[in-house]
């Protein structure tokens, strides 16, 4: 026993080294919490969102946006490109700003844009999804007299062409192709002859270098952004330091809402346990936590005096749309009256208040209410209404004839109960609660819902094989223009994202028109009509759009919330 006492005393003495004082740092650096490390630090082959944020500080693209208004601005370019529409193709003519340069002072020109596209188009580089997305670009022409000017050629007419071309990451060829292996190829070569070039030794060498050498660190001069990579240690942190030679600092009359980089360092600190992160936050070892679970945010943060006094608690909008999808191929769900009845057997307001603690917003459909020009606010949200739901079910022929509490109907000579399987993915507590809530509320109208949990890959297989009745999922869109057609156009029915099997000729037509419509007001009319049709046909039950939950230390000014992931822009933070 005496050894035990001695041990505890010794431990306490040793432990005293840690200190118990809570000190808020005065350093001009922002420490941002991450639950896990970025998958890797490659500007093209990384796919996770947190790595994307880190990359966004080191690499730049042609256009940026105001984090508050979400309005897009020419960033590396003098103005938005001139768009030259042809019969079946489209050209975008850009001109880089005179000041844009890599940290070593090398000016950025159209050749750098061309190089960056060539890396993506190299068929051996592991960036298949990006390559597929940019399949519409088949060439880049740089103006020889003024290399800052260049033209991007699209092989289709598409209203999103400008956004796609302008969001491409600019890479430094000195870093990513030091032997100039890609020099002899043009974008067109790589586009049209991809198959025959797959064995080209130069492309192989460049791809090998890109796929393997640039995953754990980012060399100096790799990108032209306001920060440069300093260090990274697994399960500890990724540190970015201010690019002292950033071209944005040299701009005269620069709009500070677009061109800013105030902290000297951005530190992405991995703390894999959320409780541990909260303890670190209170100890002043973290400045920002985002993606906080609803319950923790409402119960632990908003009610904690110490946190309220020392931290901003923000709930910026998030462009995720949670809904219940219905397989309208199914004989029970093919009748729109049944789908409308189900839409009135769930109360999203109650879910928002109880499951999400009020941190979500109802929506009539896939369009985020913040996109005011496009959102159809004339449509009435479905309300929880058991009487109306029962009426609709009766009209559709569903009645409880055997008194078992579940409505039934004769289908193809067989009596069938209105019994529906509702799938959600394992590990998602919010969706589990939504599913159970729906199960309970639907009982009132005699609808039996079986809640089924599946691993995400299994659920994905069920959706792809269209082997489901209903599912709860969130689809992610963007604060900017976004291609929504995959979920609703009939071209997505077979293998695409149109899981519900929704088909409507007018909706197809409208989406086809949207692709060719460059006028925003005109697109708005089409989008509103699409929303009205979907609202009427009910292939899904729209539940809500979420808000992010962010805590930021009050030692900073400019801690604005943003609709852009992850809900804030740390480069804007200024020490108080």
CB count within 10 Å of CB 440 equals: 12
Nearest distance, CB of residue 138 and other proteins, angstroms = 12
Between residue 203 and residue 262, which ones bind other proteins under the rule CB under 8 A? 211, 215, 233-236
Q: How far is CA 447 from CA 204, 309, 322, 442, 454, in A?
A: 59, 48, 22, 5, 22
123 or 293, CB closer to other proteins?
A: 123
Between residue 297 and residue 336, which ones bind other proteins under the rule CB under 8 A? 306, 329
| Position among 221, 474, 517, 525 found at the interface with other proteins (CB under 8 A) | 474
Nearest distance, CB of residue 310 and other proteins, angstroms = 12
Q: Within the chain, what is the greatest distance between any pair of CA atoms?
A: 90
Structure tokens at 60: 């730049």
Q: How far apart are CA 282 and CA 143, in angstroms?
A: 55
Structure tokens at 458: 């299994």
Between residue 34 and residue 93, which ones bind other proteins under the rule CB under 8 A? 36, 39-40, 45, 47
Which window, 8-16, 350-358, 429-437, 560-568, contacts other proteins (CB under 8 A)? 8-16
Structure tokens at 272: 């894999």
Q: How far apart are CA 268 and CA 54, in angstroms?
A: 8
101 or 190, CB closer to other proteins?
A: 190
Nearest distance, CB of residue 503 and other proteins, angstroms = 5
Which window, 127-135, 199-207, 252-260, 558-566, contacts other proteins (CB under 8 A)? 127-135
Nearest distance, CB of residue 27 and other proteins, angstroms = 12
Q: How far apart are CA 216 and CA 195, in angstroms?
A: 30
| Ordered DSSP codes for 281-318 | HHTTS-SEEES--HHIIIIIITT-HHHHHHEEEE--EE
Between residue 259 and residue 278, which ones bind other proteins under the rule CB under 8 A? 270-273, 275-276
Nearest distance, CB of residue 456 and other proteins, angstroms = 7
180 or 216, CB closer to other proteins?
A: 216
**What is the helix (H) or strand (E) element at residue 458, kind and residue range?**
helix 456-464
127 or 407, CB closer to other proteins?
A: 127
Q: Are 412 and 404 in contact (CB under 8 A)?
A: no
CB count within 10 Å of CB 165 equals: 24
Helix 505-516 × helix 520-537 angle, to 10°? 160
Which window, 83-91, 128-136, 180-188, 541-549, contacts other proteins (CB under 8 A)? 128-136
291 or 446, CB closer to other proteins?
A: 291
Residues 373-412, one symbol each (x = binds other proteins by CB under 8 A, - = not), give ----------------------------------------
| Position among 24, 411, 458, 516 found at the interface with other proteins (CB under 8 A) | 458
Whether the ω angle into residue 314 lies within 30 degrees of 0, i.e. cis, is no
Q: Does 21 bind other proteins (CB under 8 A)?
A: yes
- Euclidean distance between the first and final Cα of the chain, in Å? 52
Helix 386-395 × helix 336-343 angle, to 10°? 170
Q: Does 467 bind other proteins (CB under 8 A)?
A: yes
| Position among 204, 265, 285, 433 found at the interface with other proteins (CB under 8 A) | 285
Q: Which of 181, 474, 118 is nearest to 321 (CA)?
A: 474
**What is the helix (H) or strand (E) element at residue 73, kind and residue range?**
strand 72-74
Residues 513-552, one symbol each (x = binds other proteins by CB under 8 A, - = not), give ----------------------------------------
Q: Are 490 and 508 in contact (CB under 8 A)?
A: yes
129 or 405, CB closer to other proteins?
A: 129
Nearest distance, CB of residue 159 and other proteins, angstroms = 13
Q: Would strands 419-425 and 448-454 be described as parallel, antiparallel, or unpaired? A: parallel
Q: Are 231 and 219 in contact (CB under 8 A)?
A: no
Helix (H, G, I), strand (E, B) or coil at 395: helix
| Position among 2, 5, 12, 414 found at the interface with other proteins (CB under 8 A) | 12
| Position among 17, 105, 201, 403 found at the interface with other proteins (CB under 8 A) | 17
| Position among 145, 380, 505, 521 found at the interface with other proteins (CB under 8 A) | 505
Q: How far apart are CA 74 and CA 64, in angstroms?
A: 6
20 or 88, CB closer to other proteins?
A: 20
Q: Does 465 bind other proteins (CB under 8 A)?
A: yes
Which window, 120-128, 143-151, 288-296, 344-352, contacts other proteins (CB under 8 A)? 120-128
Between residue 141 and residue 180, which ones bind other proteins under the rule CB under 8 A? none
How many residues sit in the footprint of other proteins (CB under 8 A)?
83
Q: What angle do CA 528, 534, 535 make, to 5 degrees?
A: 85
């Amino acid at each position: 026993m005496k050894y035990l006492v001695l041990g505890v005393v010794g431990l306490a003495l040793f432990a005293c080294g840690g200190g118990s004082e809570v000190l808020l740092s005065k350093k001009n650096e922002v420490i941002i919490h991450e639950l896990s490390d970025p998958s890797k630090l490659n500007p093209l082959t990384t796919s996770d969102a947190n790595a994307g944020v880190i990359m966004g500080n080191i690499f730049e693209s042609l256009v940026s946006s105001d984090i508050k208004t979400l309005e897009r601005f020419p960033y590396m370019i003098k103005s938005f490109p001139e768009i030259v529409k042809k019969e079946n193709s489209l050209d975008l003519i850009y001109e880089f700003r005179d000041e844009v340069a890599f940290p070593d002072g090398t000016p950025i020109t159209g050749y750098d844009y061309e190089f960056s596209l060539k890396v993506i188009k190299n068929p051996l580089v592991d960036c298949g999804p990006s390559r597929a997305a940019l399949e519409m670009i088949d060439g880049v022409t740089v103006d020889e007299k003024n290399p800052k000017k260049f033209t991007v050629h699209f092989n289709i007419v598409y209203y999103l062409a400008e956004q796609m071309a302008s969001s491409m990451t600019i890479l430094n060829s000195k870093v990513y192709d030091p032997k100039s292996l890609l020099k002899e190829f043009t974008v067109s070569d790589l586009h049209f002859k991809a198959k025959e070039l797959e064995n080209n030794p130069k492309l192989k060498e460049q791809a090998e270098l890109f796929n393997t050498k640039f995953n754990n660190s980012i060399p100096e001069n790799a990108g032209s952004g306001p920060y440069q990579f300093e260090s990274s240690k697994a399960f500890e942190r990724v540190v970015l330091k201010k690019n002292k030679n950033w071209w944005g600092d040299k701009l005269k009359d620069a709009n500070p809402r677009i061109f800013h980089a105030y902290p000297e360092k951005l530190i992405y600190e991995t703390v894999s346990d959320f409780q541990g992160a909260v303890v670190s936050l209170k100890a002043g070892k973290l400045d920002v936590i985002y993606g906080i679970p609803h319950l923790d945010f409402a119960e632990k943060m908003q009610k904690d005096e110490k946190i309220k006094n020392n931290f901003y608690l923000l709930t910026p909008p998030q462009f995720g749309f949670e809904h219940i999808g219905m397989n309208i191929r199914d004989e029970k769900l093919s009748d729109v009256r049944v789908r409308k009845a189900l839409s009135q057997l769930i109360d999203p307001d109650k879910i928002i208040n109880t499951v999400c603690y009020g941190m979500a917003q109802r929506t009539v459909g896939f369009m985020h209410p913040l996109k005011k020009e496009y959102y159809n606010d004339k449509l009435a949200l479905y309300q929880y209404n058991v009487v109306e739901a029962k009426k609709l079910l009766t009209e559709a022929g569903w009645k409880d004839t055997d008194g078992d509490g579940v409505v039934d109907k004769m289908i193809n000579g067989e009596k069938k109960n209105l019994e529906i399987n509702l799938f959600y993915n394992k590990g998602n507590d919010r969706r589990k609660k939504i599913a159970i809530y729906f199960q309970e509320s639907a009982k009132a109208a005699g609808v039996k819902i079986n809640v089924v949990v599946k691993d995400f890959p299994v659920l994905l297989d069920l959706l792809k094989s269209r082997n489901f009745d209903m599912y709860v999922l969130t689809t992610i869109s963007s604060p900017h223009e976004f291609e929504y057609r995959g979920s609703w156009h009939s071209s997505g029915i077979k293998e695409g994202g149109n899981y519900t099997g929704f088909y409507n000729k007018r909706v197809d037509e409208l989406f086809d028109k949207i692709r060719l419509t460059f006028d925003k007001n005109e697109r708005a009319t089409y989008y509103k009509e699409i929303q009205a049709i979907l609202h009427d046909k009910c292939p899904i039950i729209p539940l809500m759009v979420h808000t992010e939950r962010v805590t930021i230390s009050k030692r900073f000014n400019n801690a604005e919330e943003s609709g852009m992931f992850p809900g804030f822009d740390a480069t804007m933070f200024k020490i108080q």
